[in-house]
Amino acid sequence: MIDDPVTRPEASTQEAGAEQFELPVGPPDPAPLPATPDEIAALVRRASALEARLAAITAHFRQRDAAAERGDGRTTLRDILNAADRWLDSLWCGAPAPDMSAPSRLPRISIVTPVLNARDTIAETIESVLDQAYPDLEYILVDGGSTDGTREIIQRYADRLDLVIAEPDEGMYDAVAKGFTRATGEVLAWLNADDLYLPGGLDRVGRHFAAFPDERVIYFENLLSIGAWRFANQPLGLVDFHRLADGHFLYQDGVFFRRIAYDAVGGLDRTLKLAGDWALWLALARRYPLRRLDGQVSSFRIRAGQLSEDMAAYEAECADVAARLRSTRSQAERLAELPSRLALALVEWLETAAGRIGPRRRFHFPLAFDEDVPAPRGAASLAAAPARCPITGALPKQLLFSSPDTRFGEPAMNEIWYHPDSHLAAIGPEIDRPSLRRLHDIHYGGGLREIKAPAEESPSPFRHYRNRSDRLVRAFARLMPAPLRRALVPWTDATSAEMKRMTRGLLPRRTVALRVLDLACFEGDLLDGFHAEGWRTFGCDPSERAVEAARAKGHQVWLGGIEDALRVIPAEERFDLVILAHTLEHATEPLAALQRAARLLEPDGLILISTPNLDSAQIDLYGPTWAHWHPPFHRFIFSAKSLAILAAASGLRCLRTRSWSHPYWSWLSLRLNGLGLMGAVPHGLPPDPDTRGAAEATVLAARLFQDWRGRGDYLYAVLKPDLRS
């Protein structure tokens, strides 16, 4: 039988089509696993070859990008002008503030930690990196052969680390270079095994690089950790190639740079043993402006056995590196050097002439180079505990100093942090309300008080801080006759008079007696003056003893703290004036406390706040020994700006602010200034004749030049419900 020439191809086409569109039911069977030693060895060789090929390809593209960044083979007049522009640009250390809204993409950050026998510190270092909560973070540890149990500690974090390189190395910089070679991040940095990142630090770095894609190198000042003490490091100021070449240095834990810049300068010099980081900064500064960002992102821990102890060898390596780099400067760099030097000299002269001005330099309290610190009176954790802004919840950008209680001598260490955006200081670590109330009951309830002075020969940080200014004040006090000083600066309590002045013309008009509520009224001393003028007086205080004393004077007082006001005060009660007299700074949640106080007001009522002033000129005079820091009892130190922000967040508006100074608070600061942070000067003691005159002179100067400019020692603010919102 002969096949039909028409129907057979159609049948064939249908069969083929059916086979073509037939889909498998499940995934294909995987290739069988190697079973013999030869098969396993072959698979290992293939994997190694692929890894080597990938490394070669990565190195090729990195070299190409580095060559393009350097501009190899092109030297023109434009290059010379660009080099000069880079030098001049490097003179201005401050980087513009990035847009803090969420960027479209944060760059990947690779952190490398070289480790060798760091059993006592490596866990805190690792946790400070892993707790950053940065969305695209790569963390690499390079262990050069630890034998003290460090590897066992690292193993506990193995599932959270991206890579651990455990092999012998030729020193710290060789280990760091190995980590950078394997890193895949766009931004690089390294953190030694005894240093720490502060919470939120890498988020600030990533946001800056995302906002400024042309930025290559940024650096921060850092804080020093000496046991449980923490202080701002010595200021770095403007840093460029010339200053680095003259011996200036940067702390490696505060420097961040793009991978392309690192490759363009040739990376770390692995042959160096002590000055490899300085050599890298010098190479980077030779090509790029180094941008300084405000605040701190890291903590440098000072301990025995660090490389910096061998300063002679370190300086010798620095001299060799500087000599090599200077001998290889390009013609463009030589042409740009002279105007850069002249401009830098001008900037340095202006810095010297102007002094340390501005809010950032105001709150910079580094230890003197020759100043020792004692063991603190109480234990503290190694990790820093930044206190968040009570208004925005943001992490702070700068640590001012750490301190035990300098009022009553409580031993626990505290940290004072600064929030530049809201311009307030916050005290950490956090403390729960029952613990804080217990401390208040112990120390604010009266009893025997005495000054606790450290031994004269024992270390006490910031003893005689700014002693020259102190001598000037004392000299001024001696020149003025004592009767004239005391006539101009009385020691009587002027709170009532100051409050009347603050509320003059603002109080609501009533046909009946006005109602005043004093939150944290103690024994009702402030209410006594209002009661004598015909006010109906009410109070609230957490101390049973104080409440009974105030009730005995005829005031209606409820038992409870400022946070309990809405719970303990009857819902129908409303007041024409609510007073928070040196109370808000004690609240653990000042925003909630102010919102609750606002709900107790009549629609046209007022809130009157008195609180220590962060803009006080006496902070410049006494620094960390300013009496109003008062940790841990004071949780926040406000300024006029931060009070206005706090009021707006509470549905209030600020009608009036004014600052004042009183000699008693200045006397407390003077006495503490003579003792340092290991001393304790409680309030309630009579002033001694030796410092009484200096306190009067300090306040007289404040009233002449500072109070009326908002730089007095404490601050008053009058708030009112904002009915416009």
Summarised one tens digit per residue, pLDDT across range 661-681 is 999 999 999 999 999 999 999
Q: What is the arrangement of strands in the sheet containing 714-721, beginning at the earlier edge strand?
A: 556-559, 536-541, 515-519, 575-581, 601-612, 714-721, 652-660
Angle 339-345-351 (CA atoms, 0-180°, nearest 5)?
A: 135
pLDDT of residue 340 exceeding 60: no
pLDDT of residue 600 exceeding 50: yes
pLDDT of residue 210 exceeding 90: yes
Contact 395, 646 (CB under 8 A): no
Helix 689-705 to helix 663-675 angle (10° resolution) is: 120
**Higher per-residue pLDDT: 271 or 65:** 271
Specify the range with the lowest mean pLDDT, choosing from 110-114, 320-324, 425-429, 532-536: 320-324
Neighbouring residues of 321: CB distance < 8 A, sequence distance ≥ 6:
269, 272, 275, 278, 279, 282
- Sketch out the chain's domains with CATH numbers: 101-355 (3.90.550.10), 356-725 (3.40.50.150)
Contact 282, 248 (CB under 8 A): no
**Higher per-residue pLDDT: 336 or 534:** 534
pLDDT of residue 76 exceeding 70: no
pLDDT of residue 153 exceeding 50: yes
Can you give the pLDDT at residue 74? Answer: 47
The type of residue at 458 is: S
Can you give the pLDDT at residue 88? Answer: 52
Mean pLDDT calculated for residue range 185-198: 94
Question: Of 610, 629, 626, 619, which Cα lies nearest the Cα of 706?
Answer: 619
Report the predicted TM-score, pTM, of the whole model to 2 decimal places: 0.83
The type of residue at 361 is: R
Alpha-carbon gap, residue 720 to 98, rounded angstroms: 34
Mean pLDDT calculated for residue range 122-148: 93
Can you give the pLDDT at residue 580? Answer: 95
Q: How confident is the model at residue 49 (pLDDT cuts 50, 70, 90)?
A: confident
Contact 662, 699 (CB under 8 A): yes
The string of pLDDT tens digits covering residues 425-458 is: 999 998 888 888 888 888 887 666 899 999 888 8
Alpha-carbon gap, residue 378 to 303, rounded angstroms: 19
For residue 342, give the 3-state DSSP assignment: helix
**Residue labelled with tokens 């009484």:** 692
Can you give the pLDDT at residue 9? Answer: 45
**Higher per-residue pLDDT: 51 or 87:** 51
Can you give the pLDDT at residue 540? Answer: 94
In the predicted model, what is the mean pLDDT of the chain?
Answer: 83
**Higher per-residue pLDDT: 66 or 307:** 66
The dihedrals phi and psi of 518, each to the nearest 5 degrees, come to: -105, 110
Can you give the pLDDT at residue 204? Answer: 93
Query: Running DSSP on this structure, what letter comes out for residue 605?
Result: E
pLDDT of residue 356 exceeding 70: no
Q: What is the arrangement of strands in the sheet containing 217-220, beginning at the earlier edge strand?
A: 163-166, 137-143, 109-115, 187-190, 255-258, 217-220, 290-293
Can you give the pLDDT at residue 16? Answer: 45
Mean pLDDT calculated for residue range 563-591: 93
Contact 294, 397 (CB under 8 A): yes
Q: How confident is the model at residue 24 (pLDDT cuts 50, 70, 90)?
A: low
Can you give the pLDDT at residue 205? Answer: 95
Question: Of 183, 238, 187, which Cα lies nearest the Cα of 211?
Answer: 187
Mean pLDDT calculated for residue range 252-259: 94
Which tokens go with 162?
């991206």
Can you give the pLDDT at residue 5? Answer: 44
Contact 374, 459 (CB under 8 A): yes
Can you give the pLDDT at residue 359? Answer: 38
Residue-by-residue DSSP string for 530-550 = HHHTT-EEEEEES-HHHHHHH
For residue 292, give the 3-state DSSP assignment: strand
Specify the range with the lowest mean pLDDT, choosing from 475-479, 554-558, 577-581, 632-636: 475-479
b/e 559-593 (16+ beta carbons within 10 angstroms → b): ebbbbbbeeebeeeeebbbbbbbebbbbbbebbeb
Q: How confident is the model at residue 305 (pLDDT cuts 50, 70, 90)?
A: low
CA separation, residue 13 to residues 3, 4, 7, 254 (Å): 15, 14, 10, 72
Neighbouring residues of 676: CB distance < 8 A, sequence distance ≥ 6:
454, 460, 461, 462, 463, 464, 625
**Residue labelled with tokens 């850092």:** 222
Mean pLDDT calculated for residue range 86-113: 66
Can you give the pLDDT at residue 481? Answer: 81
Q: How confident is the model at residue 10 (pLDDT cuts 50, 70, 90)?
A: very low
Q: Are strands 414-419 and 398-403 parallel, antiparallel or unpaired?
A: antiparallel
Q: How confident is the model at residue 539 (pLDDT cuts 50, 70, 90)?
A: very high
Q: How confident is the model at residue 164 (pLDDT cuts 50, 70, 90)?
A: very high
Specify the range with the lowest mean pLDDT, choosing from 23-37, 230-244, 359-373, 389-403: 23-37
Q: How confident is the model at residue 13 (pLDDT cuts 50, 70, 90)?
A: very low
Mean pLDDT calculated for residue range 253-262: 94
Specify the range with the lowest mean pLDDT, choosing from 79-83, 112-116, 431-435: 79-83
Mean pLDDT calculated for residue range 146-166: 92
